A = this chain, B = another copy of it.
Amino acid sequence: MDVAPVATPPARLLLGPGPSPVHPRVLEAQARPIVGHLDPWFLEVTDQIAEMLRTVFRTHNRLTYAVSGTGSAGMETAVVNVVEPGDTVIVGVNGVFGGRLADTAQRAGAEVVALEEPWGRIVPPERVASALKAHPDAKLVALVHAETSTGAHQPLEEVGALLRDTDTLFLVDTVTGLAGVPVEVDAWGLDVVYSGAQKCLSVPPGLAPITFSEKAEAVIDRRSTTVRSWYLDVTAVRRYWGGERAYHHTAPISALLGLHEGLRLVLEEGLETRWARHAEVGALFQEHIQDRDAELLAQEGHRLPQLTTFALPDGIEEAPLRARLLHEHGIEVGGGLGSFAGRAWRVGLMGEGATHANVDRFLDALDELLEG
């Protein structure tokens, strides 16, 4: 073909389920000249990233790094390293990402016990307790902390306490949770926890922060079969991240420089301050959207502030309205997935996007479209 034209992005306010708006400092970091992935300077940068991730995950876990792929690569890394064929795994399925976890575990050879709940509901901790009684040999329990398809905010502490003194691991998807709502990896007894760069960390998509507890590392060290993925095998990757710095695969340098700067911004703000900002902005948004006859779809008392799903008032077609919001107002929001498709919107107020000004801008645009 001919040379394509320069790709100059249109201005968008990203208020969908991710990616979230990116701070100019992070974009600038991605434009720095690159160095080699084994350069002593770059290895220091990776150490700093790992250490900042430990702070954000609230953990002392040695094996803490960023997977060279998006959040779903983080999910696959979490699963394939601890699961061996024939293992029983208990998975909460109350939205797209619980379903994806179950699928990923099956592909790794697991026998999946799916705890299905209606979309928008949490998985009650007592259901997990019953499942564990029925399957005391379960290799792991997997729950989605922040279900991006529904906006449900899964409580984790009770299940963590239940598993702490057992041989069962606790695997948690906090792709949309990390840095937006409290995540306490050590205090809550979480063993394998992954996230994504492009949600409340406000870094472009392409990296998946992950952490493994000592208990999880011990399970990995006792594997009797080879990890099914070469690319995601932590027994090799950990020799680069924090190990003897052996070459495994070429680290995505520019993306990691972006993550480094994004983590600096998170820590400059302070984690608690950032959680409080998300809580306040999200509550304000949920109050105002209900004033407009929208129905919140996540279970009351268990709603994420940073990601809200709601059904539009009756009689409004969601897709054409969403397209107008994008094209006339430059605002991106997400449509519903799965059982919410065709009737719901997903609005993310994540990371840099979680501001009063963005709530106002969104509501003004919506009001104008609904009146027009």
Contacts and interface: CB of A to CB of B under 8 A. Distances in A.
A100 to B, nearest CB: 7
Interface stretch (A161-169, A246-254, A295-303): A246-254
Interface string A41-55: 110010011011011
B36 A12 contact: yes
Interface stretch (A120-128, A257-265, A280-288, A305-313): A257-265
A14 interface: yes
Given A1-B51, A229-B76, A31 B28 contact: yes
A206 interface: yes
B107 A228 contact: yes
Query: For chain A, which range describes its interface: under 10, 10 to 19, 20 to 34, or 35 or more residues?
Result: 35 or more
Given A104-B230, A230-B100, A254 B10 contact: no
A251 B107 CA distance: 22
Given A32-B27, A254-B258, A72 B230 contact: yes
B18 A250 contact: yes
Copies, count: 2
Interface in A1-51: 1-12, 14, 16, 18-19, 22, 27-37, 39-42, 45, 48-49, 51
Given A6-B264, A250-B19, A11 B36 contact: no
Nearest to A250: B205
A92 interface: no
Given A69-B69, A76-B231, A36 B8 contact: no
A70 interface: yes
A226 interface: yes
A268 B3 contact: yes
A198 interface: yes
Given A27-B33, A36-B14, A205-B251, A107 B1 contact: no
Contacts of A27: 30-34, 254
A93 interface: no
Closest 9 CB pairs of A and B: A206-B252, A31-B31, A4-B48, A72-B249, A204-B254, A205-B250, A30-B30, A27-B31, A3-B267
